[in-house]
Amino acid sequence: MRFVARLVVVAVVLFAAPVHAQTATGFAPPVESSIQSVIPRMIAWRRDFHQHPELSYEEVRTARIVAQHLRSLRLEVRTGVAQTGVVGVLRGARPGPVIALRADMDALPVTEEVDLPFRSRARGRYNGQDVGIMHACGHDTHVAVLMAAASVLAARRNEIAGTIIFVFQPSEEGAPPGGMGGARRMLAENVFGDLQPEAIFGLHAWPAPSGTVTMIPGPFMAGSDRIDITVTGSQTHGAQPHAGIDPIVASSQIINALQTVPSRQMDAVRSPVIVTIGMIQGGVRYNIIPQTVQMQGTIRYLNPDTRADLYARIRRTVTETAAATGATAEVTITENAIPTVNPPALMARTRAAVARSLGEEAVLSGLPVMPAEDFAYFQQAVPGVFFFYGVNPPGVSAAEAAPNHNPRFFVHEPAMETALRAMLAIALDRVGGGA
């Protein structure tokens, strides 16, 4: 309760004061003027998207607003890429490299608990259930920041040497059953058209100090796959367990045994791993040992080179543990996202460009994290860098801040200016135009 009250006070202060919170560094005066003029619109876009969130592949309203804005800037615009995705192309007046900037648009099935004037009250259907919908991962800010970046860069069209592709991606938060997530689907539908970017860049809101960005070379975010396990025993009376095979007992042993995969079977330095069982379901009555138990979970890993070995060990551990009890087990692993890995040389140049804009003290290093991001699929097709920008209000530590995907997730709006400046610094370092 103390944290929620603190957020409300911070929010009141924020809305009563101007949003501009950064000291301008690293940009020519015309670019700086464009930045200052677009910030109020960027905040307004963000608040509108926050108040009207849309789930994966339902981002119809968001996509319409994005497309209208890009067309107003005289960009080449394609809509309907991966159902609701939008792609805008800005061609500079002079030849030069092609780069891409990406933002994701979808919200989550989360009911907002932050008391904001523009809080989400939206509801929808998810997995057959009526749910609240919230931008609990900051994608509303990603979209607004990239729209603002497009405004500033379009105003520099005559000075730009090269081409910038703006990618507004649907469905980052997970693929529908049997389908593809937004990044993979956009790539399958030729998101870049006849252009071939030399690099792609993306950003994400993260509970870290406002005014900072976090950039890490190498593995940055984890690969994330789903595991489904069916344990089959032999149904019997609860008073006569010897007459059957208990899949519930077998399942409990499997859950415990799975924890030895990261702790005892994998190199903790070369390949940090998490195996989590998040759902277990079996039985219909208190005195009947059931025939089967279903389990679902998630696997997280950072080193792409150890993925095949990891999954072989998981399958062996599950099936042989089940066999030791007399049961059998079937294991299905479904790919959700591969690790997000920042190429060191590309990261070094990107970091230097951002440091020139924000100052060295604003560019943080850190450790990889175990959440996943489907930006990694763009990195498979094009060298790419992904980074975080901090969204905590002043005085709120990372430990105090609500994490992403939490109903109390909160973005300190002045932090968005940091994100905008970082994206502009990266783009202008590649195509010129006033950094």
Q: Which two tokens stand for residue 72?
A: 């107003």
Beta strand extents in 1-133 (DSSP E only): 76-81, 85-91, 94-104, 123-126, 129-132
Consecutive H or E run containing 351:
helix 344-358
Read off the amino acid at residue 174. G
Name the one residue in this structure whose structure tokens are 């963000």: 46
Structure tokens at 407: 């109903």
Report the distance separating Cα 153 and Cα 226, nearest Å: 40
CA–CA dist 18, 167 (Å, integer): 29
Give strand pairing partners of 274. Answer: 300
Q: Starting at the earlier edge strand, list the strands of the sheet with 223-232.
A: 273-282, 292-301, 223-232, 328-337
Task: List the beta bridge partners of residue 98.
Answer: 163
Question: How many angstroms separate the CA atoms of 224 and 366, rounded?
Answer: 20
Backbone angles phi, psi at 89, to 5 degrees: -120, 125
Q: Are strands 213-214 and 328-337 parallel, antiparallel or unpaired?
A: unpaired
- Do the Cβ atoms of 360 and 25 come closer than 8 Å? no
- Catalytic residue numbers, as ranges: 106, 172
| 2: amino acid identity, one letter | R
* Beta carbons of 326 and 398 less than 8 angstroms apart: no
- Burial of residue 427, with CB atoms counted within 10 A of its CB: 0-12 exposed, 13-18 middle, 19 or more buried: buried
Structural tokens at position 120: 């989400």
DSSP string, 152-182: HHHTTGGG-EEEEEEEEES--S-PPTTS--H
Instruction: Answer yes or no: are the C-beta atoms of 193 and 80 closer than 8 Å.
Output: no
DSSP codes joined into one string, 256-294: HHHTHIIIIIS-TTT--EEEEEEEEEE-SSTTEE-SEEE
The residue whose two tokens read 């800010």 is 141
